[in-house]
Amino acid sequence: MAQDEDGATGKRSSGSRTLARGLALLTALGDHSDGATVSGLADATGLDRAVLYRLLDTLTAEGFVTRDSETRKYRLGLSMLELGVRAAQGLEVRRLAGPPLKALSEDTNETACLAVRDRDDLVVVEVIEPGDRFVQVNYRVGFRHELGVAAHGKALLAFLPEGARIPELQSVRQRGVAYTRDELEPGASGVAAPVFDHTGRAVAAVGIVAPTARLPEPETIALRVLRSAREISERLGWRPRRAT
């Protein structure tokens, strides 16, 4: 297969070639815990130095790579660490939430969902659906929407530092659970509560989504949703604060 001047193979678009090179560069940096020079990175990736400098400048500006001015070596930056932490948290929450989420779906006979934050968005990472419901809300794994929207988004944002300053979320903070009706889509409603990790930080939201007609009084299942959120939080190491 023919190679282009920068060592990339195959017929790829300019954007995909740049992405592939950037990923190869980050992988190479990950293999050099003590840092790597441009010469070493060129040997490791097979990329032209001019291309490497362009990629390194972009990645450094975004915080994914950092450069030591004395040794002139490049290392992975804090933005990579932040992404890794977010990914690990999402996977850990999803793994530990399995049994409580399944129980929530069985007890309510509705679709139970777990969602986590991805920067300014909320992403659904797990869904348990009842087997005997013909009509269900289309809230699937991988579905993404703006943080602070719908029950899951409001439940999580209300307990984040930036959410504490939003007056509209005051009622969510007071009762510990969010209700929404016809917000993401007409005819769909939700009830959700935040999930906390061992430090007491809100890291996810758990709840149910259902056709509005089947959820005329969402308050009736609020306690069940809160119990599920507490169970998952405790699995993550969270413990309630003791009164002093």
Domain parsing of the chain, residue ranges: 14-76, 82-235
Question: In the prediction, which pLDDT does 12 show?
Answer: 53
DSSP strand E in the chain: where? 65-67, 74-76, 111-118, 121-128, 144-146, 178-181, 188-196, 202-211
Of residues 107 and 13, the one with the higher pLDDT is 107
Angle, alpha carbons 222-156-154 (nearest 5°) = 70
**Overall average pLDDT of the 65-73 stretch:** 89
What CA–CA distances, in Å, run from 159 to 113, 162, 171, 176, 203?
18, 8, 11, 9, 9
Identify the CA nearest to 209 among candidates 116, 96, 104: 104
Could you give the 3-state DSSP secondary structure of residue 195? strand
Q: Inform me whether the pLDDT recorded for 7 exceeds 50.
A: no
In degrees and rounded to multiples of 5, residue 230 shows phi and psi of -65, -40
pLDDT tier for residue 85 given thresholds of 50, 70 and 90: low
Question: In the prediction, which pLDDT does 84 show?
Answer: 65
pLDDT tier for residue 158 given thresholds of 50, 70 and 90: very high
pLDDT single digits (tens) 168-223? 999 999 999 999 998 888 888 999 999 999 999 999 999 999 998 888 888 899 99
Question: In the prediction, which pLDDT does 192 show?
Answer: 97
**Overall average pLDDT of the 59-79 stretch:** 88
- pLDDT-above-70 percentage for the chain: 86
Question: In the prediction, which pLDDT does 5 show?
Answer: 41
Question: In the prediction, which pLDDT does 62 show?
Answer: 87
Name the fold adopted by 82-235: Beta-Lactamase (3.30.450)
Q: Inform me whether the pLDDT recorded for 164 exceeds 80.
A: yes
Name the fold adopted by 14-76: Arc Repressor Mutant, subunit A (1.10.10)
**Overall average pLDDT of the 14-43 stretch:** 86
pLDDT tier for residue 239 given thresholds of 50, 70 and 90: confident
pLDDT single digits (tens) 108-156? 999 999 999 988 899 898 999 887 766 566 677 888 899 999 999 999 9
pLDDT tier for residue 2 given thresholds of 50, 70 and 90: very low
